[in-house]
Structure 1
Amino acid sequence: RSLAHARTFGERNENFTLGKKTRIFGERATIDFKAEFFNVFNRHIFKAPGGFDSGLNSPFIPVSGPGSNCPGPFACGFGSVSNTFDPRAIQFGLKIAY
């Protein structure tokens, strides 16, 4: 069993959807329009400390050793939070049913 958020910050994320359904051509067809807003208030959602979610471009990859600026035996910046997930996103959709 994996607890993905046991080592990360809590998430406060509000999403919002607006939709409108309209009948056209004598009620034989409908048009559905939808606008979806993710992370409406644009809150910061931090990635896990230590680079767990940061992929190959992690700032924590270089370890100490000859030619390194890290003072200790651990990776530079170990345990610090320096990345966030994507900001607010808006998505539109249009569906025509006949």
Structure 2
Amino acid sequence: FFRSTNCNVPDQFRVGCIPTSIPGANPFAQSKSNFDPGKGPLLSSGAFESPDDFNLYYGQGPRISNIRGFGFHNQDITVYKRTSIGERVGVEFRAEFFNAWNWHIFNCTSRCFGSTGIDTDIASPTFGEWNGNVSTPRNMQFAIKVIF
């Protein structure tokens, strides 16, 4: 969800200031389907209430926004062959492919506040920009197991 670190609400309340989106304003500065981090931010700060408004004010934004980010794609594939060698011994060959189609997902670091690879802090100068992290690339592993 969106939040503002420029929040003067006393810390003992343990809440974040959550901005609301301005009705009719497009929250996206770029199309999600053609997003290029080199062309600027994904989100438009002009589509949300100003971070200067958060002076002892929680904000009117919802805890769960209806603004959706990128979908998550991941497909893992396993291929294996089990062969018997006599009555008591068998061999299994296994090939596993994680993120088989090598899809890159904008993801979050351990310091992210939320589950996104895009900065959603309205008070940040990098609001709407990609934080530089993507999901892991394709990974393959092969194994042979002797069963007796």
Bin of the TM-score, shorter chain as denominator length:
0.5 to 0.7
Alignment gaps of 5+ in structure 1: 48-52, 61-72
Given the superposition, is the C-alpha separation of residues 76 and 83 from structure 1 closer, same or farther in structure 2, using an over 3 Å criterion?
farther
What is the CA deviation profile of residues 62-93 of structure 1, one whole-angstrom value per residue up to 9, with x for unaligned ones? Answer: xxxxxxxxxxx833423322310111010112
- Distance in 2, matches of 1:12 and 1:34, equals 23
Alignment gaps of 5+ in structure 2: 1-63, 112-118
Give the one of 43, 51, 62 matched to 2:103: 43
RMSD of aligned Cα (Å): 3.0
Give the one of 59, 71, 76 matched to 1:15: 76
TM-score by length of 1: 0.60
Give the CA deviation at 1:7: 6.5
Q: Percent identity?
A: 40
SS in 2 for 1:55: coil
Tell me the amino acid that sits aligned with residue 55 of structure 1: S
* 2:90 aligned residue: 30
Give the CA deviation at 1:16: 1.4
SS in 2 for 1:35: strand
TM-score by length of 2: 0.42
Q: Do structure 1's residue 93 and structure 2's residue 143 form an aligned pair?
A: yes
SS in 2 for 1:74: coil
Given the superposition, is the C-alpha separation of residues 88 and 18 from structure 1 closer, same or farther in structure 2, using an over 3 Å criterion?
same
Give the CA deviation at 1:8: 4.9
Tell me the amino acid that sits aligned with residue 110 of structure 2: G
Give the CA deviation at 1:29: 0.5
Structure 1 runs (4+) greater than 4 angstroms displaced: none
* 1:75 aligned residue: 124
Higher share of residues assigned strand:
1
Higher share of residues assigned helix:
2
* 2:114 aligned residue: none
